Amino acid sequence: MAKNRKVTLGTIIFYMIPVIAICAAVFFGYLYYKDYRQYKEASDEYADINDSYIEIKSDEGEDAEEEPKAYFPDLDIDFDSLKSINSKLACVLYIPSVDITYPVVYSEDNEDYLHKTFEGKYNFAGCIFYDYLSPRGFRGHNTFIFGHNMKNGSMFGKLKKLQSEEGLAASHPYFYIYTEGQVRKYEIFSFYQTVESSDTYMDVPDDETYDTYIKYCQRNSYFKDYKDDIDFTDRPGLVTLSTCTGRSGGNFRFVVHGALVAVKNPKRN
């Protein structure tokens, strides 16, 4: 007659290990699929928006090299259609160096578009949005624009290329803000990693604070090839692009500062 085998703790652990491993694989596989699906849905939405309403007719080429500050890329933007999708449209942001082209919306509280797309759909990628504390129409000394640092490079996920790819910022230092009847050209003069509680996010209400802020941005900058060709004594308007970096949900931020160097009022049809 066979003897009953004694079940030990070691035996239980031996059989539980593969079960736990399988469960973990299924769980993390589900999380990966969920993230992938959200990323794809957001990417598809913005790709459709760009295909339908934003056409890049000319990009930085020889003309840009000959007259860098006078050159403006030619974008054909259907503002009426974009506003019919989202009435809070603030502008279209174009950063040629890192292939970023997105509509930007006015935020009411800096929370509403964290996980809501331009079309108003829930998605972790959210939307690029204009800081609700910054005066609208880029009238303040410094305007903040926020976006997520997505793993697939969408939203502001490509901004850090300015730091990681040597010479990129120096050879392509401009980004553009397109609004109805006007294009604003900004030259990048500083970028760096910081924390959300730093002086990067201080209010800049007057000329004296502006001068202090510029010194702070330059002191912290990683942009060692900056040509130092912006006349800050004229106190040109600033735009600061901000995104999270490091561990998800952490306190670290990556910021890019640009100063207004030219404005164009394109002809309307």
Residue 58 backbone phi and psi in degrees, to 5: -150, 140
Q: Answer whether residue 42 shows pLDDT above 80.
A: no
Give the chain's largest Cα–Cα span. 99
- Better pLDDT: 148 or 33: 148
Q: How far is CA 104 from the centre of its chain?
A: 10
The CATH H-level (homologous superfamily) assignment of domain 35-264 is: Sortase (2.40.260.10)
Mean pLDDT, the chain, whole residue set: 88
Q: Answer whether residue 100 shows pLDDT above 70.
A: yes
Residues 222-232 have pLDDT tens digits of: 999 999 999 99
* pLDDT attached to residue 164: 94
Residues 47-67 have pLDDT tens digits of: 999 999 999 988 765 455 556
Domain coordinates of the chain in residue numbers? 35-264
Residue recorded with tokens 């090299």: 65
Q: Answer whether residue 176 shows pLDDT above 80.
A: yes
* pLDDT attached to residue 60: 63
CA atoms within 13 A on the CB side of 202: 14
Strands 89-95 and 100-106: antiparallel
| N residues, the chain | 269
pLDDT band at residue 9 under the 50/70/90 scheme: low
For residue 164, the SS3 value is helix
What single-letter DSSP state applies at residue 122?
B
* pLDDT attached to residue 265: 87
Strands 142-146 and 182-195: unpaired
Are 185 and 263 within 8 A, CB to CB? yes
Per-residue b or e along 181-198, where b marks 16 or more CB atoms closer than 10 Å to that residue's CB: eebbbbbbbbbbebeeee
Residues 151-169 have pLDDT tens digits of: 888 899 999 999 999 999 9
Distance (Å, whole) CA 49 – CA 83 = 12
Single pTM value for the model: 0.84
* pLDDT attached to residue 20: 72
pLDDT band at residue 5 under the 50/70/90 scheme: low
| Range from 12-21, 83-92, 174-183, 193-202 carrying the lowest mean pLDDT | 12-21
- Better pLDDT: 164 or 12: 164
* pLDDT attached to residue 178: 98
Alpha helix segments (H runs only) across the chain? 9-53, 62-66, 79-85, 161-164, 168-171, 207-220
Please report, to the nearest 10 degrees, the dihedral formed by the alpha carbons of residues 262, 91, 190, 187 taken in order: -20
* Amino acid making up residue 167: G
* pLDDT attached to residue 269: 46
